[in-house]
Copies of this chain bind each other. A is one copy, B any other.
Amino acid sequence: MTQLLIVGGSDAGISAALRAKELDSTVTPIIVMADDFPNFSICGLPFFLSGEVADWRNLAHRTKEDITLAGIQLLTNHTATAIRPQEKVVIAVDIEGNEKLLTYDRLLVGTGALSNRPHIAGIDLPGVYFLRWMADSFAVEKHIAQFHPKSAVIVGGGYIGLEMADALVLRGLNVTLVEHNPSVLKTVDPSLGEMVRAELQRHQVTVATGVSLETIQQQGNQLKVFGSNGFEAIADLVLVAVGAKPNTHLAQTAGIELGMTGAIRVNRKMETNLPDIYAAGDCVETWHRVLNQNSYLPLGTTAHKQGRVAGANAVGGNQEFAGSLGTQVVKIFDLAVARTGLRDREALAAGFDPLTVESEVWDHKVYYPGAHQLRIRVTGDRQTGKLLGAQIAGHYQGEVAKRVDIYATALFHGMTVEAINEIDLSYTPPLGSPWDAVQMSAQAWSKASHNVISVPESVRS
């Protein structure tokens, strides 16, 4: 009977507990967690704040009851303050300051990430919010309910900033989005970032790019913000969403090593340097399948997969995490933007010889009503012809998300761009083309690379 102790009740922790229990019914997983919201979809917070999710309780992937019924014990509102690896003990403190000693045979650290706090004067003023955990979300909701803000400044044009712009517009606020890069959504190439900007502007969001926010000041009941290039704005609410960093304090003080990225170093079995201690999710380094090295990619999908591997191994399995491809998608109003793998400059930095080719293709036969144009950027290696990555932007009903997943599945298997044309994909005029959009874009890449087939010299008779 293995005692599996898990610190953290979000995706990695719950996933590990469920998998361990599934594979070994004698294990007794205990999850110690700082708040009272196990297995909550933190990716869902913007949709609660938008009003689209009426009841925050629905954001739970599973209820407490589901989790308990699966044979998992929850110790909520307990903060793990120390790990003593020699004694195989974790110390947890409840909200009244009482200490508990928790023993383990196997330990999983799933402490997640913390919001980055940029150097902005006045960032601690009332009315300035971050968004990572349920408590953050409740604070914003309470502010909206209490003060009925008419306007908001969002700092950061990444996934959460963009989703919150969408959410607050739905709530009727005037929104200004501030991003220090020249285009928003810097995780995709600028031509797609500009489509996001256009979609924001189409919904009356003011987009200020190339602006670093420097100061926030109270001005009456409002907040006045100042940034580089003379940027100024006044709003009732400021939301700061400039990324996350691994929450490693607990691990570090216990002697668990960090990697180059500042996150907990793990091997592909999700083992740390200390015996019987695993780590998974937003607090760890993630093995990147295309880069063939570790990176920091805090994503719920990855946390689930890593937790599942750690959970299996904690009960004697021998599983390896297959690696992240960096696959991501975001929906902003009617636009979906997705990516998988590497972009040109990332591939170049990793020693590839990349070529990126952009195509505009229809999601289905244009003669059938409702066709949406997709912009697809395919990145491949000129030397090997291999797919390195793909980016897609277009109407969310254009199956953008699952199209990027076709590329992701191809990338998982190390396919060449040209070989994507060989896959027997589905077709009916209302939902595709005889060569699917992902294949038309692959063909455009092949043509541009002059590597039209794998043995070009042999085809000219």
Say whether, besides A22-B452, A426-B338, A431 and B331 are in contact (CB < 8 Å): yes
Contact of A426 among B41, B47, B401, B455 (CB under 8 A): B401
Contact B424 A324 (CB under 8 A): yes
Contact A410 B409 (CB under 8 A): yes
A65 interface residue (CB < 8 Å to B): no
Within 315-346 of A, Cβ neighbours of B (below 8 Å) are at 315-319, 322-331, 336, 338, 340
**Docked pose: A302 CA to B434 CA in angstroms:** 8
Contact B11 A329 (CB under 8 A): no
For A2, what are the chain B residues with a Cβ–Cβ distance below 8 Å? Answer: 461
Contact B401 A434 (CB under 8 A): no
For A365, what are the chain B residues with a Cβ–Cβ distance below 8 Å? Answer: 41, 44
Contact of A421 among B308, B324, B406 (CB under 8 A): B308
Interface string of A374-409 (1 = CB under 8 A from B): 000000000000000000000011011111111011
Contact A424 B368 (CB under 8 A): no
Stretch at the interface among A53-61, A93-101, A131-139, A216-224: A53-61
**Docked pose: A423 CA to B397 CA in angstroms:** 23
A80 interface residue (CB < 8 Å to B): no
A304 interface residue (CB < 8 Å to B): yes
A412 interface residue (CB < 8 Å to B): yes
Within 35-60 of A, Cβ neighbours of B (below 8 Å) are at 41, 43-44, 47, 52-53, 58-59
* 16 residue pairs from A and B, CB less than 8 Å apart: A22-B452, A24-B459, A41-B367, A44-B367, A44-B429, A318-B455, A323-B424, A327-B424, A329-B428, A336-B431, A396-B431, A399-B402, A401-B428, A406-B406, A409-B409, A412-B424
Q: Which 9 A-B pairs have the closest CB atoms?
A: A316-B461, A402-B402, A322-B422, A329-B426, A409-B409, A58-B367, A325-B424, A317-B459, A401-B431
